[in-house]
Structure 1
């Protein structure tokens, strides 16, 4: 590995956005990618690592302390450094209901254990290696969701309350990480409404053939936020993956952008909110 290489750890890489991130990063020069996944021997990761010598699948299950510790130990042993973590793994409700009164407490427990406690376990395991990054400005990027925005609450349009609240709690963790680690670039990113298994489920419920944002479009946007990220301009913020929607400049941290995007697709459900709001 070249001393100028950037070392990434991406979680949730068996499919969806996580796999898309690894595929794109693998094509870049001077990059090493560790693909964290519950099943690192899946066909998709085996094929990808065979085609790209800079891709290393590692077993990593969210909120599993032993898995996280073993994955970080393998990274340290293999390359001796870690510069960027993209926490993309997560779960959503499989049988969502529209009201809090009808959601089993077990669903909230599961969402928080994976989506919130999961990133805490990841950071705790990785902090020593990550914060020692020779770049001097390591990145911890959390893939959140626009529906976890308080400033742009979507009025219960998506029946995914347990998922949204677990993501919102994780956004708070991102701010705490910023406050507690003076050299860390800690950021949350909304990936858009992406055509993955998770994103297509609410799309079908809304009568759409699939979610409107392709995996590649989301990946490109996410990486545009991470590439060149600095403590001063990028950290302690909740960003949208995309800088413009329909010609409107909405490059500030997540504000009106997700609402504008969704309103254009399903006008009856969202108010006309166009001004980006720093959150």
Structure 2
């Protein structure tokens, strides 16, 4: 039986690493852990994670800020590692560097967040699309979104650089699902969890900590990813709780 192949970006820490751990523990899975620094200790230790029967992890270089990296990573997994299809792609790599009010946000800060958080999703979709189409198991393309990028439920916190970038991710998630009838594309809401980025955001906004743990968030996200159908999730904003939320 062909291995189920999952590609996760930003995979050496936080949400990405937690998802790698969960998929790698399943039998007959190939997990592609894409991140900026394959030689970093956080990447090297991915090989030591517990594995299910006949499962393996492949670490590849991928910088979300570099357009060509998505295409180079796909070329590497095809030519060096013999990957001939992808079943799940999770664009997780993102930044949240500043939390300004609209009255003070700098154009350069908006551009940087859009470059990493939005354009990387588009490039990764374009780079992985052919391999996703070769999946026989209902392929999934599910970028990480954020409550901070919602319109109808926008939280009352300053986020004029990060928030709009995540709103754009939602637009593309809906559009990709519409354009490709064969692909189950949706946006994930992992909640406000205690990743390095989530904790830093909490402190920047005057809170003591994030609302939930990384394990709570990724247990839920993992369940969504492993049970999703296009009818249930396609073109929707799926919470880690398993419910479709209002954009």
TM-score above 0.5: yes
Partner of 2:95: 91
- Which shows bigger deviation, 181-190 or 78-87? 78-87
Alpha-carbon distance change, 68 to 205 in structure 1, aligned in 2, over 3 angstroms? closer
For residues 137-216 of structure 1, the aligned pairs below 5 Å read: 137-155=138-156, 157=157, 159-216=158-215
- 1:14 pairs, out of 9, 12, 15, with 12
The answer to whether the 8 A contact 1:63-1:121 is kept is no
- 1:67 pairs, out of 63, 66, 69, with 69
d(CA) in 2 for partners of 1:12, 1:160: 22
Runs of 4 or more consecutive aligned structure 1 residues displaced over 6 Å after TM superposition: none
Deviation at 1:205, TM superposition (A): 3.9
The answer to whether the 8 A contact 1:171-1:188 is kept is yes
Alpha-carbon distance change, 154 to 82 in structure 1, aligned in 2, over 3 angstroms? same
Alpha-carbon distance change, 114 to 7 in structure 1, aligned in 2, over 3 angstroms? same
Q: Secondary structure at the match of 2:227?
A: coil
d(CA) in 2 for partners of 1:182, 1:47: 38
Deviation at 1:134, TM superposition (A): 2.1
Alpha-carbon distance change, 147 to 87 in structure 1, aligned in 2, over 3 angstroms? same
Alpha-carbon distance change, 206 to 68 in structure 1, aligned in 2, over 3 angstroms? closer
Q: Secondary structure at the match of 2:221?
A: helix
Partner of 2:135: 133
Query: Any stretches of 5+ residues in structure 2 without a counterpart?
Result: none
Q: TM-score, normalised by structure 1?
A: 0.82
The number of equivalent residue pairs is 241
Q: Secondary structure at the match of 2:60?
A: strand
Query: Any stretches of 5+ residues in structure 1 without a counterpart?
Result: 244-250, 256-278
- 1:27 pairs, out of 25, 28, 33, with 25
RMSD: 1.6
Q: Secondary structure at the match of 2:84?
A: coil
- 1:76 pairs, out of 63, 75, 78, with 78
The answer to whether the 8 A contact 2:84-2:134 is kept is no
The answer to whether the 8 A contact 1:146-1:240 is kept is no
Alpha-carbon distance change, 63 to 204 in structure 1, aligned in 2, over 3 angstroms? closer
Q: Secondary structure at the match of 1:216?
A: helix
The answer to whether the 8 A contact 1:174-1:236 is kept is yes
The answer to whether the 8 A contact 1:190-1:238 is kept is yes
